[in-house]
Every structure is written in C-alpha cells, then in structure tokens.
Amino acid sequence: MPESSRSRLLRWKFNLIPAYRGTGARVTYIAGDFREVRIRLPLSWRTRNVVGTIFGGSLYGAADPVFMIMLMKILGHDYIVWDKVATIRFRKPGKATLFATFTIDEPELDAIRSATATGHSVDRTYHVNLVDAAGVVHAEIEKVIYVKRRA
C-alpha cells in the first residue's frame, strides 16, 4: 500500500524528532494504513561505536517506538497503548547499513480487539529483525506492548 498524506507526515515527524534522529536511523516508508513501517540504519560517524560497528543503543533505539506508534495509529483514541517490555539479542556486529520492516496484520488486530472488548488489558508480543542488504540478521528485537480499550 502506498503512503498517504497522513503516513508521510508521520514519517517526516519521526525523522525530525530529536530522540529518534539521535539513533541515526531513518523511517523510509509508512503504509497509508499504518500496518507496515520500514526503517534504515546506516553505519556512519553518528552510529559507529569504538570498535567500528553500529552502536547497540542505535540498534535498539531505531526499533523502540515503532510498534507502539503503529498500534496507536491503527487502533485510534479508543485504546491505550504502552510499551511494556523490550529485549534485544545481538547476533552479528553491524558493519553496513541495516534495515527492518515492521508489520501488523488484520488477524492480529482482530485478536487485540477481541481480547480487549470486555475491558481487560492484553499484552501482545512483536518481533522484528535488523538485517543487512543480503538478509543476514544482525539483531533480533522483541517488544511487549500493553493494550487496553478505554472505558
């Protein structure tokens, strides 16, 4: 799905927010329905650590807010959405530009709506990999997101 004017504006905002800019990453695409986001994290002077690879904080920070914001945009103001838990597993040093694609599909959204319909909260777990151009995984990130329907 192509970007919409709303998703393009969100992409610009992401890339201008100082906290996100500081990671060195850039959001390169947000689907018009907010169900897919792509990021790019280059190895540069801003992201390089003391041993010449991508700093672990940049690896995590690039992915940190994405799933939460996707769910906030998709579910709307009727839901409370918060990051709850995050883990990162470093697989290989990042020696080149890395990429990640975040997706949330309709069955997942149906599961959230169903689980929160009675007023209870639900924790949902999402995974994303930071990969190089050849598809080799350099970091695996797991996020647990808290979701509750507003009263």
Model pTM?
0.94
pLDDT tens-digit series, residues 76-113: 999 999 999 999 999 999 999 999 999 999 999 999 99
Which residue in 88, 71, 60, 64 sits closest to 123, CA to CA?
71
How far apart (Å, rounded) are the C-alpha atoms in residues 11 and 9?
Answer: 5
Query: Number of structural domains, the chain?
Result: 1
Average pLDDT over residues 57-63: 95
Tell me, what CATH number does 68's domain have?
3.10.129.10
pLDDT tens-digit series, residues 12-41: 999 999 999 999 999 999 999 999 999 999
**Cα torsion 112, 82, 126, 2: sign:** positive
Range of the domain at 132: 5-149
pLDDT tens-digit series, residues 109-143: 999 999 999 999 999 999 999 999 999 999 999 99
